[in-house]
Structure 1
Amino acid sequence: MASAPLTRPSDVSVAAAASKPWVPNHTTGVILDVVHYAYPIILLFFFLLSFTYRSIRSASNASHNIAPVTQRGPGGKPLPRTDPSRNIPKEKLEGDIPPSQKHLFEWLSVGAALTFIGNVINVITHALYSRKEQWWCGQPAVIYLVGSFFVYCLFLISLLDSSPSPNGSHLATWICAVVLEIILLAASLSLYTHEHRDSHVKGPREGPLRFRMTEWEITEVVIDLVRILLLLILIGFYRIFVSGPKAQRKKDEQKPSETTSLLAAQEHAENGSAHGNGNGYGSAVPLGGKHAHTEGAPAGWSRPVGVPSRSWWEYIKGYHVFFPYLWPSKDRRLQMIVIMCFIIVVIQRGVNLWVPYQVGVITNELSGQSGRHDGGEIRMPWGPICFYIFLRFIQGNNGVLGAVRSTLWIPISQYSYRELSVAAFEHVHNLSLDFHLGKKTGEVLSALGKGSSINTFLEQVTFQVVPMLVDLCVAIGYFLIAYDAYYALVISVVTFWYIYLTIRMAQWRAEIRRTMVNADREEDAVKNDSMVSYETVKYFNAEAYEFNRYRSAVKKFQDAEYHVLFSLNLMNVTQNMVFMLGLMITCFIAAHQVTAGKSTVGQFVTLLTYMAQLQSPLNFFGTFYRMIQSAMINSERMLELFKEKPTVVDKPDAGTLPSCEGDIRFNEVHFSYDNRKPALQGLDFHCAPGTTTAFVGESGGGKSTVFRLLFRFYNVISGSIQVDGHDVEELTIDSLRRHIGVVPQDTVLFNETLMYNLKYANPDATDEQVYEACRAASIHDKIMGFPDQYQTKVGERGLRLSGGEKQRVAIARTILKNPRIIMLDEATAALDTETEQHIQEALTTLAQGRTMLVIAHRLSTITRADQILVLHEGKVAERGTHEELLERRGRYANMWRKQIRAQRAADEARVLKDKADRLRRETKDGIGLDDDDSPPESEDEKAKKASGSGQRSEGEQDDGERQGEHEQRDDDSTSSGSAIK
């Protein structure tokens, strides 16, 4: 390629042309330089701004259909809202396109980025060809080419990574790029087509005079035109492949369709706003019910199996639920401490900037380049050295400023941990029964222990991430001002690629680390479950199985840990390689300027010091990203715990129940734990004050469901439950439960003293009131026989007490609570006859003047109940007194006959066993055989005889029972135990 002539082809001589006055197009040149400098910065800023806007809008748009519910947690703080959108496909701002069309956008973006490579090749070729003329494009053009290529690579990466892609942020950036490219093209043509000076190593327009466009300038303009054409094609394809189909979809959605269900919108609205805890046991789901929820709710509080697909804004919105518990809004002293800590952080940023500069000052003093020495004599820089030592003394987290800041932050950290941990504990207690039925205790306890992870996460963001980003921005600005744009460009590119590669590799490691964390949790869960089930393990001689199970869990954790550590080392090598490449380039540039006399040795040392100091925040970013990721994964379970919402809450206008007479009425109550099988179907009954109502029937008939609904563990689907004429859903849960006492089948006690457990029902009760309640429950004398009496520790879950003792303690607690309504859930099940008699005596005392609801499998305990309800498949199959139900010869009479036969067989077997034991003792004592013709019966013969006596023909038994049923009814009832009166 030949060089352009230096003079215009005319009769005028070169000397005459050179002597002509020439006025450069100064304004056009300034515009060109400014746009060259600003092009990559404007494009990058515009892309980040549009990307941020789109992320926020997408996250908001994904949950726009969720009706906000104002609920308050402990201390009046707002409870986090469960996000139903996690079960609803997210609505996207732009629809995703087929892979073939997406590849088209990617290849066009690659072409646009390669045009800058073409410009670079053109510049390098021109510089080599015109090296004798010392041609160089100038710093503005270098910044434009390198910076723009870097930004376009960023666009390409976002196309590959983001979904959907391309999206609105790409379109906005392409439009902005076209505008800037047109400005550059117009300025270049305006400059090149007129008389102008060529570029030179001294400056952009310090070279020879040109009168027309050179071949190099024509090549530059052609490449610019190709780039503009590619950008316009990208914009056009976006309108065709993305915007057009999106507009058509919206248009189609607005058209009425004959195939669209009229109930679809209503169902979507109901489903979108009625999520519970996410357990299948959690909410009732009848058709048309008033408490419907989505059918696709996740089952149980399950561990996440993969990294959730969330945008950064969704993560921020998710974690912002913790902020009310972390900011000391009511403590002015702590707020002032926070402000002081931030001031110290700002001072630390200035110190970090000053230390490298001070090193350069000392170097110039010692090298004689400071300009302050006399006659070449180098003085000892006492002052600069002392000041440098002082700066290093207060610099960093280990310096004075860092120590002061850390000390001041201690009460803030303690406040945050205390508030968050207590709030999480209270929140779990406020969740409904459906959550606790589906939870895994080990995982909930692990999640509750992650308050420190949240605290660490926020502290690191506040005092590590933000200062690190400030340090990086200050470093770029410092290199731009103190050195030149080349350094700022190198630092910007190195910083970006360092952070980008760190994030990408950390995202790759996220799944690996999540696997390790889940394995660690599983190991803890196995260990916890095995320790809690200690007796069960011993019952089945399962020690070897438990050892192998735990060993397998540990091995699984260690396998995941190996992959985590290997990926960590690989990421460290990659980070170091990127930074060393940037350090090499900056050192070459600085060394060249020192040898050319453009900078001093002190500036070179300052550069090295600042680069070494810059490596710290970059290295820390990798470490920090791992710590943040670890903290986020560890705290994710607490976040999910906070997002769990109680399915049963007080209505905003709920009233209180100050007093209670005990009148209970179920009005056509329908309920289902899920949408597959109803638990109650039109249940209707009334309990007058002071009466006893018993519920009997086969398992699954709905007996326990009645208790759970009355105690407001769940809400009914349809119908109503009234207490003293008030709908329970119109009352506060606390005021209702204060008037209800429960004696469960399996009483669970705290691992505290008996006095603590007894006073748990009424902390204000006196010791004498506790003694009276225990006497009424027939347990006082037993407690006084213990070595520590009422200060006796009951053990884990009360295991040091027998079943009957725990039941009587439960009855005493209920007496201390003094409720008007008492629910007995098979309180005498699985107890021996003597213990059952004591329990029945205590229950008779407890029932005086109170409304009793009893679930009983032993029908002999409810023969004197005021009414007995036989439940079958959620309905009242029979109702009446004991005598009335026997006369009907229905389900209840059949259950009664079966229990009487079983009781008679058991009594006869017991008599035979006693006789056999007596004979065995007599033989052992040498009394000998009786004078009968035959020896005593063997044990097998006795058992067969007992079995035979209990297996008479059913017809004979039925006849006998029918003959004496009315005469023996009271005797049978009395002989089987005392009834609840």
Structure 2
Amino acid sequence: MSPNSLAVRVLHWITPIAIGTTFSVARLVAFCALQKPSRCSRSLAKTRQIVTAILSAAVLLLFFQGLEQRNISQDFQVYIGGSIFIWGTVTVNLLGKSRRVWYPYAAIWILGALLETCVLLFNDSLKSGELYSSLDPALQISRIVCLLILAGSGFCFSITCRLFRQSVDEENQPLLSAHGRADADYASVASDDDQDRLIMDDEDDGPNRTKELKEKQRKRLQECGSWMAYLRDFKLLAKLAWPSGNRSAKICLAILIVVILADRALNLLVPRQLGIITDKLSAVHETGEIPIREIGLWMLYVWLSSYAGLHAITQFCQLPIEQHAYRKIGTTAFGHIMNLSMDFHSNKHSGELMAAIGQGQHLYRLCDFIFLDVGPMIFDLIIALIYVTLLFDASITLIMILVGVGYTCIGTKSTSWAMQRRRRYNQAQRNESKVQNESIGNWQTVAHFNMAEYECDQYSKAVEEHNIARGRYYMVHYAGYAAQNLILLLGQLSAALLAAYRVSRGDAPVGNFITLVTYWHTIEAPLTSVSFSVRQLSQMLIDSERLLELLRTQPSVADRSGAKPLLLTQGRIEFDNVRFSYDVRKASLEDVSFVAEAGKTIALVGETGGGKSTILKLLFRYYDVSSGGIKIDGQDVRNVTLSSLRAAFGMVPQDPSLFNTSIMENVRYARMEATDEEVKEACRAAAVHDRVVSFPDGYQSTVGERGVKLSGGELQRIAIARAILRDPRIVLLDEATSMIDAETEAAIQKAFKRLTKGRTTFVVAHRLSTIQDADLILVVQNGQIVERGTHEQLYALNGKYTRLWSKQLSKQSTQT
């Protein structure tokens, strides 16, 4: 073989591989880097599309002419077949949208022209001067000309588009600010694939919460600048799924890797051994000899590759890894939610949070995706291409490549259609859970207003929407799966016919045909994994978007760097010019200043919404002040740890909530190490002990969800018992006696005196009779302290406090 012929053969192999790889890599880079389609007029974009599509189709047809030759070599088969596939793919792509990222196409036009020129220059017929003695050089020259025209036209179109952009920018310059022009540029640039994606997302959105999530995702993607940078945010979830810190899970992972490598070898050995048995049987035909050794090896390989062999080990080893990921993700997400601030929990929806955690916990599939799908899939495909080429020739390998690409393309397209339906399906599923949770959780309200039929109707609609969304998603899923299997069957038929032809000509033994037919099922597995892995990854990203957003949410109130535990010596509390607002447009507290001396009782009174409870929330550090400061024994509450700060308080909220457990467990929640007798003593102090022991189950009585089985007074007294059991240094009472009758109130006041003795106490009260003995009474109105002093001092002022006192006395007299 002459050097020129050798060079041509090498170029025949290299050309389609180089062009296909360049095109794939360039498109992948453009996608990951979020590169925008070229900005130019619609007519120019359409013209460019038509011209390039026609020329690309011409290149494709010129390669088809090469199929007319007979007895072509294997390298020429790869050259012609691979080029037809690649340029056919490019032509089909060009028939899509008119606006696109063009540099991947320009790259393969230039590369294709160079490689075709090299093939032509090394062609022996050209050296001999017989340029037109063969059709092939003429076809090559025609292809080179078409590719050069494509590259040149691409350059001309790019210059024209650039001039168009400059003219548009100059026209818009006087009218738009810099910010507005940037927005306009983005809108123009995003007029192709991005616009379609935005439209798809808008159709998919639905509830405002999902729209907000999508908007945040788009902004985050724009800020990241590329898909790779965007996916780096998911490292947090990947770390949670990784079996770090778990020795048994790591051992199982190591075993899994060994088993996976062994399974890859078995995928090859089983069909190979079957081919060996076929050849052996052909050789010993009619001799009565049985190839025992060969059949024994085959059965050994089959057993190892079965569910009774290595697959069983895979399942056993996979379970601890999945359990670790499930536990780590669930506990991390739950712990993160529990440590978020009041502003988050004030706006949360419990059903959505639980759904987000539930979906996120299934990210243990990430380990399966990485170690059981992607790695083995790539390895199997590479081995399959090499092995089939050795069995027969590159023609069948080319069929495998065509089947693989076609299978993947159909899977990718069906996945993109399914993604939007998956989002709708997830949203409908969450909405059903939300309706169900709301209705069941508010059963009393439903019963009060006789709306059971209405709630059933709402739930029925939610279930119907769920079924519709689920049906649409699975219809696309099943249709794509059927199309992919049809591609596999057609590929198998083509490969079997070509292999049978090779065997009939004597180019390969019969055993090779059996090996190929058997091995084809092994080839289907990684192809299925490609599509399923893409679909699985897309579903994991969609399902984890909400959990990722949740984990990215940072608490607005957290320990500062270097925060130290609170040293509570006396319990002196000082508010110094405190200003705070829930909404920046309206202040909730303005210049609040006062001092609560150690062991004194401070009462906060005033009209509803004046800011009394807000003062307690700031002291408890549910929120941080906007300006000013709060000090406890001279220590700013922002400079101490939250845990030590909140450990100093005992709080009775205005609307207490209990767990759906026993009364004993609910009271003991304030101090988990408390004995049963201490719990009962606290209940006696809260004047609820006698009531509890009258229940059939006594202290073991369950209170229902949020304490629904108890009356309002019983619920509040249980909350008071918890505060008493906690034995705090600072006591916060937020309307602690609002639901208690006068007789019970007198008993509780005695308990409060024991509780608050020697402790700094804050009392928020509407019933002014309960705070007459307070050491300092603060009258709060519209976020400001308008009056301060003892009961006698304030009454003597004849101001706001006096009017409030008079109104209550008048109301009590009327009721009497």
Instruction: Note whether the superposition's TM-score is higher than 0.5.
Output: yes
**How many Å apart are 1:457 and its aligned residue?**
4.2
Q: Which residue of 2 aligns with 1:42?
A: 18
**How many Å apart are 1:172 and its aligned residue?**
5.8
Distance 2:150 2:131 in 1: 31
Gaps of 5+ in 1: 1-23, 59-91, 128-134, 197-208, 265-297, 908-981
Q: Which residue of 1 aligns with 2:424?
A: 515
RMSD: 3.6
Q: Which residue of 2 aligns with 1:392?
A: 302
Distance 1:211 1:745 in 2: 97
Alignment of 1:371-770 (within 5 A): 377=287, 379-396=289-306, 398-450=307-359, 452-619=361-528, 621-622=530-531, 626=535, 629-770=538-679
Deviations 1:933-973 (A, max 9, x none): xxxxxxxxxxxxxxxxxxxxxxxxxxxxxxxxxxxxxxxxx
Contact 2:109–2:150 (Cα < 8 Å) also in 1: no
Distance 2:690 2:516 in 1: 86
Q: Which residue of 2 aligns with 1:808?
A: 717
Q: Which residue of 2 aligns with 1:835?
A: 744
For the residue of structure 1 that corresponds to 2:588, the secondary structure is: strand
Does 2:6 match 1:30?
A: yes
For the residue of structure 1 that corresponds to 2:123, the secondary structure is: helix
Selected match of 1:335 from 240, 245, 250:
250
Does 2:66 match 1:151?
A: no
- Going from structure 1 to structure 2, the CA distance change for 1:360 and 1:229 (only over 3 Å counts) comes to same
Alignment of 1:861-940 (within 5 A): 861-907=770-816
Distance 1:476 1:242 in 2: 44
Q: Which residue of 1 aligns with 2:103?
A: 171
Deviations 1:779-827 (A, max 9, x none): 3444444454433333322233332233222222222322222221111
**How many Å apart are 1:99 and its aligned residue?**
4.7
Whichever residue aligns with residue 749 of structure 2, its letter is Q
Selected match of 1:231 from 151, 160, 165:
151
Comparing 792-801 and 477-486, the one that deviates more: 792-801
- Going from structure 1 to structure 2, the CA distance change for 1:616 and 1:121 (only over 3 Å counts) comes to closer
Contact 1:96–1:165 (Cα < 8 Å) also in 2: no
**How many Å apart are 1:323 and its aligned residue?**
3.1
Does 2:123 match 1:191?
A: yes
Whichever residue aligns with residue 252 of structure 2, its letter is I
Distance 1:258 1:550 in 2: 50
Distance 1:710 1:413 in 2: 43
Whichever residue aligns with residue 29 of structure 1, its letter is S
- Going from structure 1 to structure 2, the CA distance change for 1:154 and 1:692 (only over 3 Å counts) comes to farther
Distance 1:701 1:172 in 2: 65
Distance 1:719 1:345 in 2: 63
* TM, length-normalised to structure 2: 0.87
**How many Å apart are 1:210 and its aligned residue?**
4.3
Q: Which residue of 2 aligns with 1:366?
A: 281
**How many Å apart are 1:342 and its aligned residue?**
0.7
Selected match of 1:118 from 61, 66, 69:
61
Contact 1:759–1:765 (Cα < 8 Å) also in 2: yes
Distance 1:624 1:260 in 2: 44
Deviations 1:126-154 (A, max 9, x none): x3xxxxxxx56544344234323433455
For the residue of structure 2 that corresponds to 1:321, the secondary structure is: helix
Distance 2:366 2:519 in 1: 28
**How many Å apart are 1:733 and its aligned residue?**
0.8
- Going from structure 1 to structure 2, the CA distance change for 1:883 and 1:531 (only over 3 Å counts) comes to same
Contact 2:653–2:733 (Cα < 8 Å) also in 1: yes
* Identical-residue share of aligned pairs (%): 33
Distance 2:560 2:378 in 1: 47
Q: Which residue of 1 aligns with 2:75?
A: 140
For the residue of structure 2 that corresponds to 1:699, the secondary structure is: coil
Q: Which residue of 2 aligns with 1:797?
A: 706
Structure with the bigger percentage of helix: 2
Q: Which residue of 2 aligns with 1:222?
A: 142
**How many Å apart are 1:402 and its aligned residue?**
0.7
Larger Rg: 1
Deviations 1:633-683 (A, max 9, x none): 444443333233222111122122132422222222232223332222333
**How many Å apart are 1:566 and its aligned residue?**
2.5
Whichever residue aligns with residue 119 of structure 1, its letter is L
**How many Å apart are 1:308 and its aligned residue?**
6.3
Comparing 214-223 and 147-156, the one that deviates more: 147-156
For the residue of structure 1 that corresponds to 2:577, the secondary structure is: strand
Contact 1:344–1:405 (Cα < 8 Å) also in 2: yes
Contact 1:192–1:212 (Cα < 8 Å) also in 2: no
Deviations 1:246-300 (A, max 9, x none): 9999x99xx9x99779xx9xxxxxxxxxxxxxxxxxxxxxxxxxxxxxxxxx987
**How many Å apart are 1:773 and its aligned residue?**
3.0
Whichever residue aligns with residue 336 of structure 2, its letter is H
- Going from structure 1 to structure 2, the CA distance change for 1:410 and 1:572 (only over 3 Å counts) comes to closer
**How many Å apart are 1:155 and its aligned residue?**
5.2
Deviations 1:403-440 (A, max 9, x none): 01211222222222222222222111111122222222
Contact 1:116–1:145 (Cα < 8 Å) also in 2: no
- Going from structure 1 to structure 2, the CA distance change for 1:179 and 1:709 (only over 3 Å counts) comes to same
- Going from structure 1 to structure 2, the CA distance change for 1:394 and 1:363 (only over 3 Å counts) comes to same
**How many Å apart are 1:239 and its aligned residue?**
6.1
Alignment of 1:311-326 (within 5 A): 313=228, 316-326=231-241
Q: Which residue of 2 aligns with 1:356?
A: 271
- Going from structure 1 to structure 2, the CA distance change for 1:623 and 1:849 (only over 3 Å counts) comes to same
- Going from structure 1 to structure 2, the CA distance change for 1:308 and 1:484 (only over 3 Å counts) comes to farther
* TM, length-normalised to structure 1: 0.73
**How many Å apart are 1:352 and its aligned residue?**
0.5
For the residue of structure 2 that corresponds to 1:822, the secondary structure is: strand
Distance 2:211 2:649 in 1: 33
Whichever residue aligns with residue 359 of structure 1, its letter is L
Distance 2:565 2:93 in 1: 57
Whichever residue aligns with residue 740 of structure 1, its letter is F
Q: Which residue of 2 aligns with 1:84?
A: none
- Going from structure 1 to structure 2, the CA distance change for 1:882 and 1:174 (only over 3 Å counts) comes to same
For the residue of structure 2 that corresponds to 1:678, the secondary structure is: coil
**How many Å apart are 1:488 and its aligned residue?**
1.5
**How many Å apart are 1:772 and its aligned residue?**
3.7
Q: Which residue of 1 aligns with 2:199?
A: none
**How many Å apart are 1:230 and its aligned residue?**
0.6
Gaps of 5+ in 2: 183-206
Contact 1:366–1:381 (Cα < 8 Å) also in 2: yes
**How many Å apart are 1:96 and its aligned residue?**
5.5
Comparing 322-331 and 437-446, the one that deviates more: 322-331
Distance 1:672 1:469 in 2: 57
For the residue of structure 2 that corresponds to 1:449, the secondary structure is: helix
**How many Å apart are 1:304 and its aligned residue?**
5.3
Contact 2:571–2:599 (Cα < 8 Å) also in 1: yes
